[in-house]
Structure 1
Amino acid sequence: MGEVVHSSRGTIRTSRALVLILLLVITGTASALWALKSGYPAVSWKELWRVLLNREGSDLAVTSILELRLPRIVLGFLSGAMLAISGVLMQTGLRNPLASPDLIGVSAGSSLIIAVITVFHLPVAFNLYPLFGLVGGFTGGLIVIASVYGRTDSTSIILMGTAVTAMLNGMIVWLITMGTQNDINLLYTYLMGSLTGRHWNHVQYLLPWAVIGIPAAMLFIKPLNLLRLGDEQAEALGQKVARLRLLLLVASGVMVSAVVAQCGPIGYIALLGPYLTRAILGTEDARWILPCSAAVGAVLLVTADLFAKTVFIPREVPVGLWTTMVGVPVLILMLVMRGRRRN
Structure 2
Amino acid sequence: MSAPYPSPPVLNPSRFWIAVTALSLALLALALLSLQLGKPALNLSQIWEIAFSTNGKPIPRLVFWEVRLPRLILGSLTGALLALAGVLLQNALRNVLAGPELLGVQSGAASVMAAVVVLHLPLALSTYPLLALIGGLLGGAIVLFSSKRTSDPVRLVLIGAAMTALLNAVTIALISLGSSSTVSLLFLYLLGSLSGRTWDEVEILLPWAIIGIPLALICARPLNILQLGDEMAEGLGLKVLPARFAIGVLSVVLVAPAIATCGPIAYIALLAPHLSRNLLGTTDARQVLVLAIPIGAVLLVGADLLAREAFAPMEMPVGVWTTLLGGPALLVMLQQQIRRRG
- TM-score normalised by the chain length of structure 2: 0.95
TM-superposed deviation, 1:129: 0.6
Corresponding position: 1:109 with 2:119: no
Give runs of aligned pairs for residues 1-343 of structure 1, distance below 5 A. 13-343=12-342
> SS at the partner of 1:151?
coil
Q: Does the CA contact (< 8 Å) of 2:154 and 2:337 recur in 1? A: no
TM-superposed deviation, 1:43: 2.4
* Equivalent-residue separation in structure 2 for 1:106 and 1:326 (angstroms): 20
Q: Does the CA contact (< 8 Å) of 1:274 and 1:293 recur in 2? A: yes
* Equivalent-residue separation in structure 2 for 1:115 and 1:109 (angstroms): 10
* Equivalent-residue separation in structure 2 for 1:153 and 1:250 (angstroms): 22
**Share of identical aligned residues, percent?**
46
Q: Does the CA contact (< 8 Å) of 2:79 and 2:299 recur in 1? A: yes
| Mean CA deviation greater in 98-107 or 38-47 | 38-47
Q: Does the CA contact (< 8 Å) of 1:84 and 1:269 recur in 2? A: yes
> SS at the partner of 2:312?
coil
* Equivalent-residue separation in structure 2 for 1:167 and 1:150 (angstroms): 21
Q: Does the CA contact (< 8 Å) of 1:55 and 1:62 recur in 2? A: no
Read off the aligned partner of 1:58 and give its amino acid letter. K
TM-superposed deviation, 1:282: 1.2
* Equivalent-residue separation in structure 2 for 1:307 and 1:21 (angstroms): 23
TM-superposed deviation, 1:92: 0.9
* Equivalent-residue separation in structure 2 for 1:104 and 1:11 (angstroms): 29
Q: CA-to-partner distance for each residue in 1:154-194, whole Å, 9 max, x for gaps?
A: 11111000000000011111111100111111101111101
* Equivalent-residue separation in structure 1 for 2:10 and 2:254 (angstroms): 33
* Equivalent-residue separation in structure 1 for 2:34 and 2:57 (angstroms): 19
> SS at the partner of 1:42?
coil
> SS at the partner of 1:156?
helix
Name the CA shift for 1:287/1:263 in 2 (closer, same or farther; >3 Å): same
> SS at the partner of 1:142?
helix
Q: What RMSD, in angstroms, separates the aligned Cα atoms of the two structures? A: 1.5
* Equivalent-residue separation in structure 1 for 2:16 and 2:217 (angstroms): 17
Read off the aligned partner of 1:213 and give its amino acid letter. G
Q: CA-to-partner distance for each residue in 1:251-306, whole Å, 9 max, x for gaps?
A: 01111111000000000000111011111111111111111112211111111111
Name the CA shift for 1:12/1:214 in 2 (closer, same or farther; >3 Å): closer
Q: CA-to-partner distance for each residue in 1:36-68, whole Å, 9 max, x for gaps?
A: 011122223322221122142111100101111
* Equivalent-residue separation in structure 2 for 1:46 and 1:286 (angstroms): 40
* Equivalent-residue separation in structure 2 for 1:309 and 1:13 (angstroms): 37
Q: CA-to-partner distance for each residue in 1:114-168, whole Å, 9 max, x for gaps?
A: 0000000111111011111111100100111011112111111110000000000
Q: CA-to-partner distance for each residue in 1:96-121, whole Å, 9 max, x for gaps?
A: 01000000100000000000000001
Gaps of 5+ in 1: 1-8
Read off the aligned partner of 2:29 and give its amino acid letter. A
Q: Does the CA contact (< 8 Å) of 1:105 and 1:137 recur in 2? A: yes
TM-superposed deviation, 1:225: 0.8
* Equivalent-residue separation in structure 1 for 2:165 and 2:117 (angstroms): 20
Q: Does the CA contact (< 8 Å) of 2:9 and 2:224 recur in 1? A: no
* Equivalent-residue separation in structure 2 for 1:341 and 1:10 (angstroms): 21
Q: Does the CA contact (< 8 Å) of 2:264 and 2:319 recur in 1? A: yes
Q: Does the CA contact (< 8 Å) of 2:128 and 2:260 recur in 1? A: yes
TM-superposed deviation, 1:15: 2.4
- TM-score normalised by the chain length of structure 1: 0.95
TM-superposed deviation, 1:10: 9.7
* Equivalent-residue separation in structure 2 for 1:46 and 1:220 (angstroms): 42
Read off the aligned partner of 2:241 and give its amino acid letter. A
Name the CA shift for 1:10/1:227 in 2 (closer, same or farther; >3 Å): closer
Q: Does the CA contact (< 8 Å) of 1:84 and 1:271 recur in 2? A: yes
TM-superposed deviation, 1:12: 7.6
* Equivalent-residue separation in structure 1 for 2:237 and 2:149 (angstroms): 22
* Equivalent-residue separation in structure 2 for 1:41 and 1:229 (angstroms): 54
